[in-house]
Structure 1
Amino acid sequence: MVTTRTITAAELLVMGSDVPYELIQGELVSVSPSSIKSNMILSNIHGAIFAFVRSRKLGLLSVGEGGYLLESNPDTVVAPDIGFVVRDRLPDPIPARGYLPVRPDLIVEVISPTDERSEIERKQALYDRIEVPVVWWIDPRRETASVHVPGQPVQVIDRTGQLDGGDLLPGFTLKLAEIFDEL
């Protein structure tokens, strides 16, 4: 959808959660529902990270429609497949309504068959611009993960490798075969 005027985060919020859009620098961007395979992979990843984060009280983990206000004037609101914010960066209190006004420390995006390459690149450019410390792009078709860390080359992991939580999730690992084989 192309808008003729800049939309704000407040206006997006009023539209409701059943509106499938993100807001990129004031412009509404349509978000397609994912395939069931992509969603099952997302569930596997979320379950593993959730158990790890919750047992250690490391921070906030969102899935699906959890919105983050990343930029203001013009506003940018995204809802990554998974977002994680370390505990000491969370606002107190966490807003009961609206979007979390901090960038995630970890973003996980599962590529769906309908995702266009240009859209993935646009989103990664946004994540680079706002300096998301770690982004994992999961590609179900290729059974790979691409790990993006600012200032480092992109690391591509095949299904025989594993994701590593690094400094954000110390001790966390997830074998890619496990997220793809449980389908």
Structure 2
Amino acid sequence: MTALTLKLDSVVRLTDEQFYQLCQDNPELKLERAATGELIVMSPTGGETGKQNFDLVIALGVWNRQTGLGVGFDSSTGFRLPNGSDRSPDVAWIPQAKWDALTSAQRKRFLPLCPDFLVELLSPSDSWEAGEAKMQEYQDNGDRLGWLIDPESRKVAIYRLGQAVEILESPDALSGEDVLPGFVLNLQTIW
């Protein structure tokens, strides 16, 4: 997904409410906001990336429905991270207790937390370096397990809270480890 970054600070610094309203007024746009206030506009994905992302959502959704351990989200869900940025990972998950702790009003807006698990799936136009920076931001904000997946090169970076990043070349599957017990993603649906 090609992203366009707009630096608005010299003109306006959007409040949380203004950014939320901007997103509501422009539902056809996929917008994120960096902690520095920059507005990130992302283009729609191509068919191949959309299919891969759909397969990721299904796999996590089936596991989550079977276990009932939490709540899963697709790429249209906004998360307000503790550092002030607003992000929308391709796939995200939180434990049921975190969902239950949110008020009804919080559930209807961008969720004021960082997911415990998330996936960023690179499109052919995305850079590995930009993906790494985004994943590091998630980890710095409390993400417990994250996968950066590059289908082109068949490379995966695994981010675990408090640990060094692990890079895998052409793995067959990924484990949800202790964050998503029993979840295994067969990467043959992605490659």
For the superposition of Structure 1 and Structure 2, which TM-score range results when normalised by the shorter chain?
0.7 to 0.9
Alignment partners' CA distance in 1, 2:45 and 2:16: 23
Counterparts in 2 of 1:122 and 1:179: CA distance versus 1, 3 Å: closer
User: What pairs up with 1:68-79 in 2 under 5 angstroms?
Assistant: 68-71=79-82, 75-79=84-88
Tell me, yes or no, if the aligned pair for 2:82 and 2:113 is still in contact at 8 Å.
Answer: no
SS in 2 for 1:71: coil
Q: Which runs of 5+ in 1 are unaligned?
A: none
Q: CA deviation digits over 1:123-167, x for unaligned, max 9?
A: 123113213111101111012322111332322334343110111
Q: 1:132 to 1:125 in 2, by over 3 A?
A: same
Partner of 1:80: 89
| Higher mean C-alpha displacement, 27-36 vs 131-140 | 27-36
The answer to whether the 8 A contact 1:69-1:78 is kept is: yes
Q: Percent identity?
A: 25
2:8 aligned residue: 3
d(CA) in 2 for partners of 1:31, 1:8? 20
Structure 2 counterparts to residues 142-181 of structure 1, below 5 A: 142-180=153-191
**Which residue identity does 1:2 align to in structure 2?**
K
Q: CA deviation digits over 1:88-142, x for unaligned, max 9?
A: 1223445352111111001101001121344223312311321311110111101
Matched, 1:34 2:45: yes
| In 2: Cα distance, 1:179 partner to 1:19 partner | 25
CA deviation string 1:162-182 (max 9, x = no partner): 1101111111112212332xx
Taking the aligned partners of 1:8 and 1:19, their CA distance within structure 2 comes to 19
The number of aligned residues is: 178
Q: Counterparts of 1:53 and 1:157 in 2: how far apart (Å)?
A: 25
User: Is 2:135–2:148's contact at 8 Å kept on the other side of the alignment?
Assistant: no
- 1 CA distance for matches of 2:67 and 2:128? 36
Give 3-state SS (helix, strand or coil) of 2:190's partner. Answer: helix
- Does the CA-based 8 Å contact 2:120-2:131 persist in structure 1? no
TM-score (norm 2): 0.84
8 A Cα contact 1:160 1:175, kept in partner: no
